[in-house]
Amino acid sequence: MSIDMRLVEAILNATPGWDAQLAEAGLDATDVSQILTEAARLAETTVAPLAGIADREHCKVVEGRVKTPAGYAEAYRALGENGWITADLSPEFGGMGLPLALNAAVILPFEAAAQPFMMASGSTRAGAHLLADRAPDLAADWCPKASEGKWTITICISEPDAGSDVGRIRTKAVQDGDTWRIDGTKCWISFGDHDMADRIGHLCLARTGTPEEGSRGLSLFLVPNDQGIFVERIEEKLGLNGSPTCVLRFEGAKGHLIGEPGRGLSQLFTMIELMRLQVGGQGAGIALACAGLARAYAADRKQGGKPSAPPVPIDTHPDVQRMLTALDAQAMLSTALVLEAAATVQAGHGDAAMSAYAAFLLPLTKTFNGEGACEAAYTAVQVLGGAGYTQEWPAERYYRDARILTIYEGTTGMQGQDFLMRRLGKDQGAGLAVLAGRIRAGEDSLALRLLDRFEALVADVLAQDMGVQMAAADAVLRAGWVLTSAYLAARLTGVPGCAEAMRFWQATLEAKMGLYEAEVARALK
């Protein structure tokens, strides 16, 4: 389902800081329009046709290697040849040097077209940025090949007994001359093996210290799949059938150390930041696709009306109009959030205040674009009715695929704790201060009221001990989204075509803040 790129472009143009980043990149409005149009064209013609086929065929292990669905290899090469895999990477390493916010907009039609397929390019792009930042010697070999689509990169963190608790990782790295040998098992590795590219590099956390050192004993390695890596199985999942989620066994695999021993988690920061931003793009892409699908179906499907007259399009029925407006609101806000987060991440390079604001926005982007995609898919199925529950339409696939977004790259509980304890506590609310300044400058009365309530809520929670804070973290995260969405909605009311959906969204925000205030009060007892 194609998405409205004119809407995406209008929201990008309204994003704070975008004008300056556009000028700095040497681009103009015509360039942006052409880039977005071309991305949407390739997504619709080359990537979208894979989605339904892959969902039915799945990926398979054949003679120890993963076989992807028909058309995957050709489509992946097309992404590389057209520059879309690492469009925001420096030209020095094979990218186009696009601003991060423009790249986030470019990703949306691809994610809407086939989210499972795009997971290969997502981790490859993030991995290429990590190598460019942390290991320029390796980047010189890997990044151009990754940009061309000839090599891919994964992130290997989780293990069967160490998911979010990375301090319990047992995969071991032992130095062998100038290189290291890696032994252990990694799981949940998206595109951990496949037949789309010539070589796969795994950015793998492994233990170089003692188990007692926890996360301080972990180091980061680039481990090519040339030898010593075996596919044990592909996970059978609720959705993402077109994405092979692999369990990999490392047996003496040769690894290249990145950075200093014992600093693996800090080395991974660049990649994790971009992959969480990618989840926000996945959520926005699915929400946009669901809104477009539901509107197109409702305009065409005829039911109801006077028995003496022909049936009418269902988009004339008030309840369907309500659902379509809710879908529009979710899609618009998700797009605005991921674009603002991307622009802020770029602005934060060298600017402490903007870096803090980016750290504030990322948990919200990851969580609520993920939840928003789930809600959008649910509502799209509802609009389509029985048809939405069948595989004749993509709504049910969106519903299954979107569910992972609130789980991988950090569950909602983890995002809540990060948001409260780090971004509002440890960072002393530096990111919130930037948002508060923008809200006060905008003078939207609803956002101003919600800001006062949120600041009081945060002060109450941070005055408590850690146990109470952990119990309240989810409610604080959700209250933070209520506030942030009010700020975004106030801006989007000025974007053509968005005002009605934003008024719909704004109508319940004070009540929602009350709900989360009540949940915090319960935790404080």
Q: How far apart are CA 203 and CA 222, in angstroms?
A: 5
Closest by alpha carbon to 24, among 129, 100, 89, 87?
100
Residue 185 buriedness (CB in 10 A; 0-12 / 13-18 / 19+): middle
- DSSP for 86-147, please give it: TTTS-GGGT-----HHHHHHHHHHHHHHHHHHHHHHHHHHHHHHHHHHH-HHHHHHHHHHHH
Antiparallel, parallel or unpaired: β 172-176 and 60-62: unpaired
The strand pairing partners of 62, in sequence order, are 65
Q: How far apart are CA 16 and CA 343, in angstroms?
A: 8
Angle of helix 430-442 relative to helix 445-462, nearest 10 degrees, comes to 160
CA 262 to chain centre: 28
Element (H, E) at 177: none
Active site residue 409: yes
Angle of helix 352-384 relative to helix 466-492, nearest 10 degrees, comes to 80
CB-CB contact of 226 with 199 (8 Å): yes
CB-CB contact of 362 with 273 (8 Å): yes
Tokens matching residue 339:
């674009």
What's the DSSP call for residue 313? B
133-258-177-217 Cα dihedral, nearest 10 degrees: 160
Q: On the CB side of 390, how many CA atoms lie within 13 Å of its CA?
A: 6
Which of 9, 409, 455, 500 is an active site residue? 409
Closest by alpha carbon to 208, among 131, 272, 267?
267
Under DSSP, is residue 2 helix (H, G, I), strand (E, B) or coil? coil
Tokens matching residue 134:
């942390």
Residues with catalytic roles: 409
